Chains A and B, each alone.
Chain A
Amino acid sequence: MTSRTGIAPGADGELSIDDRLALLRRMLEIRFFEDEVQRLFTKGLVRGTTHLGQGQEAVPVGVCAALRDGDTMTCTYRGHGAVLAMGAPLDEAFGEILGRANGLCRGKGGSMHLTDLRVGALGSYAIVGAHLPITVGAALAARYTKSGAVGVAFFGEGSTNIGAFHEALNLAGIWRLPAVFVCENNLYGEYSPYASTTPVDTIAERAASYGMPGVRIDGNDVEQVRATAIEAVERARSGDGPTLLEAMTYRQVGHSRSDPAKYRPEGELEQWLERDPIVVYERVLSEAGVDADALASIRASAEEEVAAALERAAASPEPELGSRLEDVYAS
Chain B
Amino acid sequence: MIATTYKQAITQGLADALAEDDSVFLFGEDVAAAGGVFKATEGLRERFGDTRVLDTPISEQAIVGAAIGAALMGLRPIAEIMFADFAGVCFDGLANQLAKYRYMTGGQASLPVTVRMANGSPGGFGAQHSQSGENWFLNIPGLKIVVPGTPADAYDLIRAAIRDPDPVLYYEHKGLYNIKGPLRAAADARAEIGCAELVRQGGHVTVVATQLMRHRAVEATQVLAGEGIEVELIDLRTLVPLDLDAVLASIERTNHLVVVQESSFGGSWGATLVAAVLEQAFEILDAPPLVVRGDETPIAYAANLESAWLPDSQRIAEAIRRTVAY
A→B interface (CB under 8 Å): 47-49, 96, 99-100, 103, 105, 107-113, 126-129, 158-159, 161-164, 189-192, 196-198, 263, 318-319, 321, 323-325, 328
Q: CA separation between A302 and B158, bound complex, in Å?
A: 53
Residues of B within 8 A of A100 (CB): 302
Q: CA separation between A158 and B59, bound complex, in Å?
A: 10
Contact A191 B301 (CB under 8 A): no
Contact B125 A191 (CB under 8 A): no
Closest-CB distance, A222 to chain B (whole angstroms): 28
Question: A108 is contacted by which of B58, B61, B85, B301 (Cβ under 8 Å)?
Answer: B301
Residues of B within 8 A of A112 (CB): 125-126, 128-129
Among B27-35, B190-198, B224-232, B316-324, the stretch in contact with A: B27-35
Contact B128 A126 (CB under 8 A): yes
Contact B126 A192 (CB under 8 A): no
Contact A128 B58 (CB under 8 A): yes
Q: Given the interface contacts A47-B124, A325-B295, does A161 sit within 8 Å of B85 by beta carbon?
A: no
Interface string of B51-76 (1 = CB under 8 A from A): 00001111111100000000000000
Tell me, yes or no, whether B284 is within 8 Å of chain A by CB. Answer: no
Q: Given the interface contacts A128-B58, A324-B300, does A49 sit within 8 Å of B86 by beta carbon?
A: no
Closest-CB distance, B79 to chain A (whole angstroms): 15
Contact A48 B126 (CB under 8 A): yes
Question: A325 is contacted by which of B55, B58, B297 (Cβ under 8 Å)?
Answer: B297
Q: CA separation between A189 and B33, bound complex, in Å?
A: 13
Closest-CB distance, A21 to chain B (whole angstroms): 35
The 10 closest A-B pairs by CB, nearest first: A47-B124, A110-B301, A99-B302, A107-B302, A161-B57, A48-B124, A197-B57, A48-B125, A191-B34, A324-B305
Closest-CB distance, B136 to chain A (whole angstroms): 14
Q: CA separation between A140 and B201, bound complex, in Å?
A: 61
Tell me, yes or no, whether B19 is within 8 Å of chain A by CB. Answer: no
Q: CA separation between A325 and B295, bound complex, in Å?
A: 8
Tell me, yes or no, whether B308 is within 8 Å of chain A by CB. Answer: yes
Question: B29 is contacted by which of A190, A323, A328 (Cβ under 8 Å)?
Answer: A190
Residues of A within 8 A of B309 (CB): 324
Tell me, yes or no, whether B298 is within 8 Å of chain A by CB. Answer: yes
Q: CA separation between A109 and B33, bound complex, in Å?
A: 31
Q: Given the interface contacts A162-B89, A190-B34, does A126 sit within 8 Å of B126 by beta carbon?
A: yes
Q: List 6 A-B contacts (CB under 8 A).
A: A126-B129, A127-B88, A319-B300, A319-B304, A321-B308, A325-B297
Other A-B pairs, 7, CB within 8 Å; known A99-B305, A190-B34, A192-B30? A99-B302, A100-B302, A110-B124, A112-B126, A192-B34, A319-B302, A324-B295
Q: CA separation between A94 and B213, bound complex, in Å?
A: 32
Q: Given the interface contacts A113-B126, A126-B128, A190-B37, does A328 sit within 8 Å of B58 by beta carbon?
A: no
Contact A318 B33 (CB under 8 A): no
Tell me, yes or no, whether B303 is within 8 Å of chain A by CB. Answer: yes
Name B36's closest neighbour in chain A (CB-CB).
Answer: A191
Tell me, yes or no, whether B123 is within 8 Å of chain A by CB. Answer: yes
Residues of A within 8 A of B29 (CB): 190, 192
Q: Given the interface contacts A47-B123, A47-B124, does A192 sit within 8 Å of B55 by beta carbon?
A: yes
Contact A198 B57 (CB under 8 A): yes
Q: CA separation between A318 and B56, bound complex, in Å?
A: 40
A-B pairs with CB below 8 Å: how many? 127
Residues of B within 8 A of A128 (CB): 58, 89
Tell me, yes or no, whether B188 is within 8 Å of chain A by CB. Answer: no
Contact A108 B125 (CB under 8 A): no
Tell me, yes or no, whether B296 is within 8 Å of chain A by CB. Answer: yes
Q: CA separation between A182 and B295, bound complex, in Å?
A: 38
Q: Given the interface contacts A113-B127, A126-B126, A263-B33, does A189 sit within 8 Å of B58 by beta carbon?
A: yes
Residues of A within 8 A of B128 (CB): 112-113, 126-127
Closest-CB distance, A288 to chain B (whole angstroms): 41
Closest-CB distance, B82 to chain A (whole angstroms): 9
Residues of A within 8 A of B301 (CB): 47-48, 96, 99, 105, 107-111, 113
Contact A263 B295 (CB under 8 A): no
Contact B58 A159 (CB under 8 A): yes
Closest-CB distance, A116 to chain B (whole angstroms): 16
Contact B298 A318 (CB under 8 A): no
Residues of B within 8 A of A162 (CB): 57-61, 89
Residues of B within 8 A of A110 (CB): 124-126, 301-302
Q: CA separation between A245 and B273, bound complex, in Å?
A: 52
Name A198's closest neighbour in chain B (CB-CB).
Answer: B57
Interface string of B247-262 (1 = CB under 8 A from A): 0000000000000000
Residues of A within 8 A of B30 (CB): 190-192
Interface string of B93-136 (1 = CB under 8 A from A): 00000000000000000000000000000011111110000000
Q: CA separation between A163 and B59, bound complex, in Å?
A: 7
Closest-CB distance, B127 to chain A (whole angstroms): 7
Closest-CB distance, A243 to chain B (whole angstroms): 23
Contact A321 B305 (CB under 8 A): yes
Q: CA separation between A96 and B126, bound complex, in Å?
A: 11
Closest-CB distance, B184 to chain A (whole angstroms): 31
Closest-CB distance, B64 to chain A (whole angstroms): 11
Closest-CB distance, B51 to chain A (whole angstroms): 15
Q: CA separation between A100 and B128, bound complex, in Å?
A: 19
Contact B59 A161 (CB under 8 A): yes
Residues of A within 8 A of B55 (CB): 192, 196-197
Closest-CB distance, B83 to chain A (whole angstroms): 9
Closest-CB distance, A171 to chain B (whole angstroms): 17
Q: CA separation between A105 and B126, bound complex, in Å?
A: 12
Q: Given the interface contacts A109-B301, A190-B30, A324-B295, does A197 sit within 8 Å of B124 by beta carbon?
A: no
Q: CA separation between A306 and B86, bound complex, in Å?
A: 34
Residues of A within 8 A of B127 (CB): 108-109, 113
Residues of A within 8 A of B295 (CB): 324-325
